[in-house]
Amino acid sequence: MVNKPDLHAVLGNGQTGIIVRNVSERNLRRLDRFTGCAHDLLSMSPRRPLESTESHAVLKLQERSVLRRPERDTYIDPYSGIPRLPVHSPHWQHRKKAHCGEKGKTEARVQQCESGAARPRPISESGRNNSAIRALNWIAKNELPAGGIRVHSESESGYPEVTGYLIPTLLNYEQNSLAIRLARWLISVQLADGSFAGPDGVSYAFDTSQVLRGLLTIVNRLPETREACRKAAEYLCSLALTHSSRGFGSSPSPRIPESIHLYSIPPLLEAASQFDHVEYRKIAENCVRFYFSLPNSFGTKYLTHYLGYSLEAAIDLNRADLAANPLSYLQARQKRDGSVRGRAGVSWVCVPGLAQLAICWYKTGRAEPANAAMGWLERHQEPSGGFTGSKGLWSDYLPRVEVPWATKFYLDAHFLRQEARRAAPR
């Protein structure tokens, strides 16, 4: 909360700047909309005189931008320090009608509208189903004419990894024709050594394993995928043997923990079962031991998207105990709106990471945080039916494009939510 005397500072030459003490990011965005200089605002302790260093910072604000007059007939709320529209303003009346209905609501609801404290209404069951249908339609629309699912909404290249692990999701929703088309495209782009390349044209163990994950689920419907699965499993085993029981090699980026390769192991174990291959199983178990022994395999400082891979893999490998503490830690830090910060030290949300946390919470019987996360996701679904990589102030994980893996993990979480509801006692 910002007191009126703390809000304005005269900077010389009759110009006005802003000092903000302990303002939230939500209010910071509102100030930015009215003043155009929110990036220069200061965060200080309340009711404390300005020191020389703070005065210097305020003067720096004067050099970079001058406070514009707020648009329309706004005023500065003396209690919150936020520019607002007066009650008599026709613009405010229009907003009140849009938010509270033409005929108005109860006095308490009107007060909520005036204070900006109104919370989003719970999404109905029909809304949830509609969100899933829109997400499925988004995937169908983002199948390229040449085959495969595009890397993101602005790309014209197919992404084998995401195309691969979308196949089980599509089969869960009985989208069999699309799943078969995607599988046939994957067979056509498999490299001679059995691997699958990323968008940069380089073969990766992780990408190959996720294609293997998808193809194994469709072998019964499309027998020609069997040979592609065998070649992909052989490639993964050759990598593991090359690195002498140190997994599948280092991660492709320093920002990505090696432990995401835990998500590569369930497909290899499934291949061992389907092909009755003892060597595949032995290599997979060696990789499990290696990745579980790494320090910070489940460190909560990482992007929740990468952490979500490791947590879900641990649960699927019957080691939910290893995922319990990180999931409890993030649940305790989940906001009232259902969101969880994207990684340590930021406030924005990684959208696919939040969906992956919902999956893990559903799989470990924690429906409350999972449902809250799903509510946030459905409120932030794009009009097209897809999801961007991240949301929030200063987000930096693909915030301007819609990514297919966010849609995939949302659909997986929705499927688990429906299963949990069917299994719940009535």
Question: pLDDT by residue (tens digit) across 263-274?
Answer: 999 999 999 999
Instruction: Calculate what percentage of the chain has a pLDDT beyond 90.
Output: 65
Whether residues 104 and 183 fall in one domain:
no
Tell me which residue of 231, 237, 248 sits closest to 194, measured CA to CA. 231
- Give the pLDDT confidence score for residue 24 in this predicted structure: 60
CATH code for the domain of 300: 1.50.10.10
Strands 75-76 and 8-10: unpaired
CA 155/CA 140 separation, integer angstroms: 15
Indicate if the pLDDT at residue 118 is higher than 60. Answer: no
Indicate if the pLDDT at residue 133 is higher than 80. Answer: yes
- Give the pLDDT confidence score for residue 222 in this predicted structure: 96
Indicate if the pLDDT at residue 407 is higher than 70. Answer: yes
Summarised one tens digit per residue, pLDDT across range 314-344 is 999 999 999 999 999 999 999 999 999 999 9
Summarised one tens digit per residue, pLDDT across range 8-48 is 433 343 444 444 445 566 565 555 554 444 443 333 333 33
Whether residues 303 and 228 fall in one domain:
yes
Between residues 199 and 246, which one has the greater pLDDT? 199
Whether residues 332 and 191 fall in one domain:
yes
Whether residues 414 and 294 fall in one domain:
yes
Indicate if the pLDDT at residue 90 is higher than 90. Answer: no
- Give the pLDDT confidence score for residue 22 in this predicted structure: 53
Residue 290: half-sphere exposure toward Cβ, Cα within 13 Å:
22
Residue 257: half-sphere exposure toward Cβ, Cα within 13 Å:
25
Residue 72 is part of which domain span? 4-83
Torsion angle in degrees (nearest 10) through CA of 282, 287, 290, 295: -150
CA 304/CA 356 separation, integer angstroms: 8
Amino acid making up residue 326: P
DSSP 5: G
Among 17-21, 123-127, 250-254, 320-324, name the one with the lowest average pLDDT.
Answer: 123-127
Summarised one tens digit per residue, pLDDT across range 358-389 is 999 999 999 999 999 999 999 999 999 999 99
- Give the pLDDT confidence score for residue 296 in this predicted structure: 87
Tell me which residue of 359, 333, 361 sits closest to 345, measured CA to CA. 333
- Give the pLDDT confidence score for residue 242 in this predicted structure: 86
Indicate if the pLDDT at residue 237 is higher than 90. Answer: yes
Mean pLDDT of all residues belonging to the chain: 79
Whether residues 227 and 325 fall in one domain:
yes
CA 27/CA 266 separation, integer angstroms: 45
Whether residues 176 and 219 fall in one domain:
yes
Whether residues 198 and 53 fall in one domain:
no
CA 11/CA 58 separation, integer angstroms: 8
Whether residues 50 and 166 fall in one domain:
no
Contacts 24+ apart (CB under 8 A), 56-64: 58/9, 58/11, 58/17, 58/19, 59/11, 61/11, 61/17, 61/18, 61/37, 62/11, 62/12, 62/15, 62/17, 64/37, 64/40
Whether residues 96 and 131 fall in one domain:
no
Q: Which residue has the tokens 């994980």?
A: 397
Contacts 24+ apart (CB under 8 A), 243-246: 245/286, 245/287, 245/290, 246/290
In this structure, the number of other CB atoms found within 10 A of the CB of residue 380 comes to 17
pTM of the complete model: 0.71
Whether residues 298 and 406 fall in one domain:
yes
Tell me which residue of 335, 258, 243 sits closest to 291, measured CA to CA. 258
Please report which confidence band the pLDDT of residue 418 belongs to, taking 50, 70 and 90 as the band edges: very high
Q: Is the separation of the CB atoms in 158 and 150 below 8 Å? A: yes
Whether residues 49 and 103 fall in one domain:
no
Indicate if the pLDDT at residue 97 is higher than 80. Answer: no
Tell me which residue of 197, 237, 210 sits closest to 309, measured CA to CA. 210
Q: Which of 83, 107, 133 is the last residue of a domain?
A: 83
Q: Which of 68, 98, 118 is the last residue of a domain?
A: 118
Question: How many independent structural domains does the chain possess?
Answer: 3
Indicate if the pLDDT at residue 137 is higher than 80. Answer: yes
- Give the pLDDT confidence score for residue 62 in this predicted structure: 35
Whether residues 298 and 347 fall in one domain:
yes
Q: Which residue has the tokens 């009985």?
A: 174
Among 15-29, 101-115, 286-300, name the one with the lowest average pLDDT.
Answer: 101-115
Q: List helix spans (H) across 73-175.
A: 90-100, 107-115, 125-141, 160-172
